Amino acid sequence: MNRIPLCSIVLLLSSFVASAKPGHTSTGAGVPAPCLPVPTVQQLALQDMEMYAFIHYSLNTYTDQEWGFGNESPELFDPADLDCRQWARVCKQSGMRGVILTAKHHCGFCLWPSAYTEYSVKNAPWKQGRGDVVREMAEACRREGLKFAVYLSPWDRNYPEYGREAYITYFRNQLRELLTQYGDMFEVWFDGANGGDGWYGGANETRRIDDKSYYQWADTYRLIRELQPNCVIWGDNANRGDIRWVGTEAGNVGETNWSPMPSQGKADYGMLHFGVEQGDVWCPGETNTSIRPGWFYHETEDAHVKSVEKLMDTYYKSVGRNSTLLLNFPVMPNGRISPVDSLHGLQFARMVETVFRHDLARGAKIAASNVRGGDKRYAPRHVLDGRPGTYWATDDDVTEASLTLTFKRPTRFNRFLAEEYIALGQRVRSFTLEALVDGRWVPLKDELVEHGNGLTTIGHRRIICFPTVEATQLRFTITSARACPLISRVGLFLAPDIEHPSVSAGGKSEAKRSSLLNIFFASPRQMLIECPGTKPIQGFRYLPPQKSHRGVVTHYSLWGLESNGWKKLASGEFSNIVNNPIWQSLRFPATSAHLLRLDAEQLAEGERMEYEDVEVVME
Ligand code: FUL
């Protein structure tokens, strides 16, 4: 299949010749001209998938790390009960329509027997080196009716040639293996974490690369297009793919979220998070987040699996904001997804189904302030007909317009949903919602708003959450649009109160938070922590600053003052702390020290170590 923008198909059918200027529309009625840019068939298919799963599994699973250094032994990879069908079932029950598997994470270990390296499952004890996790998962997905895709980390901390030209050939060879031996792929995911220290075949050094030029993405993209024409390519600030990272791993995208992006130049956080209205290419956001704090499995996080309430919040802030949701399920060392994650995933899918089962707008009478050419092909009833290919449209010069829904009887609702007919571009800038309650028009506000008033942009799907109202009418007014609005769906729902599934925290150890600790700085990079009490200390936790990267500790050493002087308790890196600033937990053999010292060996930015909170774990 060629990468044909959808509008070309629409226009061929309507024999309309469009001018190719961004934002241009036709004059007069008839099929509306596209408002450029528009999606390709492949991009639209991905947006229609709405939710798909990530699976993080590698040697990290056995070393309790988020990022492997590249020298971990393949001998560690020996799951007793690896079951890809269980993974696929969990994903399916959680409402996911596809799965992206970490075929190779930053440590370089390959979950398939690549012909180009010895650092793979072929040298692991699992199945006497004859196993292939990628194959098992591709087959399990097919059996469950899920689409399949791979994550291939460009950064490889194991390969000796990383940072040099020879690595690019190696990387492409691996990509070719993955894209030719495992059937259709819906996406290839390239991580943006790039370059730094690593094992690199024993060199054990820091290798920096220029992420814009080093990987020569244009040629790699050509290879992907040739081998898997239906696949979309993930991109971030450095490489512009078909779908973009949204600048955070916390599970949200901006309330204002444009699918267009500029084709050239690096994208900063704001562009990734909110899109760019004037962008010249279609590049929608994909919100990636994990069901647990980390991406890989850590037993210490068993009590922190996201609740159904948190997952619903994530759903509203991703799928409900014109983005897809890529939700991660880590695999445990035994080779299965934890029953807790599985349960929460299932409850989440059921909740989505419960909230959106009964569309209260369906039985309403509907009227519009303007209908394109007075033509019934564009009548407002199309927003309620359940058909994604039909839409309500206004005349070309009308970019402010409203729809009014009148209910047969007073109706209670707390969720509003709208969808644009994005095959012809994303148009709506802002809108208002009002409910007629006891004869008075009451404005409805977005409860989950983080910036502005929240009623900005619609795109593939927009969901607004507000306190329950009982109304006889609802007015949806588009207050600004790039071109005449094309609305394919409007819905109203009544979400029940959401309950938290309770999961026991487990473990009997006692923790002391920073408020109970005496913390002071011996120097800008040296934090001293005085712990009251007499119990031995066996763990330390660090929560980095949440609002900026300044002062975030990426490499540390932790010391305890024992009777014979300072003793090193732990050292290493807090991997992925910049993109995912969660609690970092260190465990060590119990120490009698009651004065700890955290040395910041490296900071993400700035010269002075900062923290949001610290915690000391006692026996
Ligand atoms: C990040 C990586 O560094 C994490 O380990 C994880 O794979 C996440 C999806 O992307 O950038």
Residue 41 CA, chain-centre distance (Å), reads 21
Cα(527) to ligand 1 centroid in Å equals: 28
Q: What is the pLDDT of residues 178-223, one digit of tens each?
A: 999 999 999 999 998 788 999 999 999 999 999 889 999 999 999 9
Cα(577) to ligand 1 centroid in Å equals: 10
pLDDT above 60 (res 116)? yes
pLDDT above 90 (res 541)? yes
- Comparing CA positions, the residue from 348, 407, 380 lying closest to residue 94 is 348
Position 497 scores a pLDDT of 75
Q: What is the pLDDT of residues 117-160, one digit of tens each?
A: 999 999 999 999 999 999 999 999 999 999 999 999 999 999 99
Q: State the pairing for strand pair 323-330/428-437.
A: unpaired
Cα(191) to ligand 1 centroid in Å equals: 6
- Retrieve residue 194's tokens: 């790039």
- Give the whole-angstrom CA distance, residue 228 versus residue 201: 31
Q: Is 567 left (phi over 0), alpha (psi -120 to 50) or beta?
A: beta
Q: Which residue has the tokens 């399916």?
A: 92
Rg, the chain, Cα only:
26
What percentage of the chain carries pLDDT values higher than 90?
85
- Give the whole-angstrom CA distance, residue 54 versus residue 289: 9
Residue 156: other Cβ atoms inside 10 A: 28
pLDDT above 50 (res 111)? yes
Position 6 scores a pLDDT of 61
CA torsion angle for 339, 341, 347, 348 (degrees, to 10)?
A: -160
Position 16 scores a pLDDT of 37
Which mutation among 295, 325, 327, 554 tests ligand 1's pocket best, with the greatest number of atoms within 8 A of CB?
295
Residue 110 CA, chain-centre distance (Å), reads 23
In CATH, what class is 42-355? Answer: alpha beta
pLDDT above 70 (res 305)? yes
pLDDT above 50 (res 501)? no
Q: Pick the more confident residue, 487 or 453.
A: 487
Closest ligand 1 atom to Cα of 54:
9
Nearest-5° Cα angle at 22, 20 to 28: 70
- Comparing CA positions, the residue from 619, 575, 567, 573 lying closest to residue 597 is 567
Cα(364) to ligand 1 centroid in Å equals: 46
φ and ψ at residue 384, rounded to 5 degrees = -115, 5
Q: Where are the alpha helices (DSSP H) in 38-186?
A: 41-49, 60-63, 84-93, 133-144, 165-181
- Retrieve residue 189's tokens: 């995911």
Of all protein residues, whose CA lies closest to atom 6 belonging to ligand 1? 295
- Retrieve residue 583's tokens: 């609690």
Closest ligand 1 atom to Cα of 189:
9
Quick one: average pLDDT of 449-454?
A: 71
Helix (H) or strand (E) holding 219: helix 217-227
Closest ligand 1 atom to Cα of 295:
6
Position 320 scores a pLDDT of 98
Cα(69) to ligand 1 centroid in Å equals: 14
Closest ligand 1 atom to Cα of 579:
11
Position 20 scores a pLDDT of 36
Position 266 scores a pLDDT of 87
The answer to whether 551 touches 603, Cβ cutoff 8 Å, is: yes
pLDDT above 60 (res 353)? yes
- Give the whole-angstrom CA distance, residue 419 versus residue 386: 11
Position 27 scores a pLDDT of 45
Cα(14) to ligand 1 centroid in Å equals: 44
Q: Which residues form ligand 1's pocket by a CB distance below 6 Å?
A: 66-67, 191-193, 288, 295, 576, 579
Q: What CATH homologous superfamily does 358-493 map to?
A: Galactose-binding domain-like (2.60.120.260)
In this chain, the answer to whether the domains covering 42-355 and 510-618 adopt an identical fold is no
* Least trusted range by pLDDT, from 297-306, 446-455, 460-469, 562-571: 446-455
Task: Find the length of the chain.
Answer: 619
CATH of domain 510-618: 2.60.120.260
Q: What is the pLDDT of residues 543-590, one digit of tens each?
A: 999 989 999 999 999 999 998 999 999 999 999 999 999 999 999 999
- Comparing CA positions, the residue from 430, 432, 417, 433 lying closest to residue 383 is 417
Helix (H) or strand (E) holding 351: helix 339-356
- Give the whole-angstrom CA distance, residue 521 versus residue 137: 49
Residue 277 CB-density burial (10 A; 0-12 exposed, 13-18 middle, 19+ buried): middle
- Comparing CA positions, the residue from 481, 340, 495, 480 lying closest to residue 417 is 495
Is the pTM here over 0.85, yes or no?
yes
The answer to whether 586 touches 540, Cβ cutoff 8 Å, is: yes
Cα(294) to ligand 1 centroid in Å equals: 9
Q: State the pairing for strand pair 518-523/526-530.
A: antiparallel
Closest ligand 1 atom to Cα of 576:
3
Position 339 scores a pLDDT of 94
Domain boundaries, the chain: 42-355, 358-493, 510-618
- Give the whole-angstrom CA distance, residue 353 versus residue 314: 15
Q: How many separate helices (H) and strands (E) can be counted in the chain? A: 10, 28
Residue 517 CA neighbour count, 13 Å, CB half: 23
Closest ligand 1 atom to Cα of 290:
9
- Give the whole-angstrom CA distance, residue 424 versus residue 409: 36
Position 237 scores a pLDDT of 79
Cα(193) to ligand 1 centroid in Å equals: 7
Quick one: average pLDDT of 594-616?
A: 94
Of all protein residues, whose CA lies closest to atom 4 belonging to ligand 1? 576
Q: Which long-range contacts (CB under 8 A, 24 or more apart) does 121-126 make?
A: 121/74, 121/77, 123/74, 124/74, 124/75, 124/76, 124/77, 124/78, 125/75, 125/77, 125/78, 126/77, 126/78, 126/79, 126/82
